[in-house]
Amino acid sequence: MTLEEIAINAFLEAYKHHQLLGKAGEKRKRKNRYGEVALEADIASEEIIINSLRNSGLPLKLVTEEHGELDLSLNPILLGVIDGLDGTNRYLASRNGEDKNAKYGPILGIFSNTNPKYKEYLFSGLIDFSTGRIFYAIKGEGSFVFLPESGHKRIKCSNGQKLKKGSKIYLDRYFDEQSDPKDKLFGKLKKFNVQDARSYVAYHSELASGEVSAVITFTRKGNLEMAGTYGLVKESGGDIFTIDQRSIGEESFFNFGQDGILRPIISAPNKKIAREISNLIRS
């Protein structure tokens, strides 16, 4: 099997199990490495992806949200980054009927060595459990959306070079919730259509397919979601930037943003839009 086939198969196995979980998926199980309570849905999805990757024989070292770090072979040469269920709160909101449009699901990134820079991705992707759609990218081959019944379709970021009044932007409101009033970002972006989908599954699937103009998130929780979807954004024609408009591609996964400090991160179709947002939020 190719790397693409291995990863897609892992996503499909997790999706099949998730569809059967029902109410049991909401059961609170244990705290994860970041102090958050993991549900049965979080743990089961991640376990299935881990086991699927193990069965593939890939020589992987894994960094995961619910299971910590583990080696799938005696001498791993690749790194895998997994969030077994990104958007757990959206999963619960969907289950209780609070948010019928919630997007959530696993994220998986595979890198070419065990101490990679972000740009050294081989595979990058996610599956939206609310629809079954898989958004993924292969290094140098582009980004795609896949459904078993309809096949693979190439996707691209928006080709806009400038934000317009009402442009849709996703803003992770966690930063504003933790900040002093003078530092809050929502008010600085009020001329745009600013929303918070509260999951990278929504943030980067919509950015990569041209449905949203930009995404503002922050370094936190080991940056698993950002690492897992960097290649998806990059292969769609966009990039992920720091507040001073540097691509994170040259940054080391194990070093960048791992100090627990909230730092704004801008995912955008191009550097012009990243610069425009950067200037606004630094004003």
Q: 52-78: per-residue pLDDT in tens?
A: 999 999 999 999 999 999 999 999 999
Domains and their CATH numbers in the chain: 3-154 (3.30.540.10), 168-281 (3.40.190.80)
* Tally of CA atoms within 13 A in the half-sphere of 22 that contains its CB: 1
pLDDT for residue 79:
98
pTM of the model: 0.95
Separation between Cα atoms, residue 109 and residue 212, nearest integer Å: 22
pLDDT for residue 200:
97
pLDDT for residue 270:
97
Q: What are the two backbone dihedrals, phi and then psi, of residue 269, each rounded to the nearest 5 degrees?
A: -65, -25
- CA distances 152 to 12, 41, 133, 145, 271, Å, are 14, 27, 10, 6, 28
Return the structure tokens found at 117: 């820079």
**What's the length of the chain?**
283
Tokens 């269920």 — which residue?
A: 85
Q: 102-149: per-residue pLDDT in tens?
A: 999 999 999 999 999 999 999 999 999 999 999 999 999 999 999 989
Share of the chain above pLDDT 70, in %: 97
Return the structure tokens found at 50: 């881990």
| pLDDT of 191 higher than 70 | yes
Q: Which amino acid is at 202?
A: A
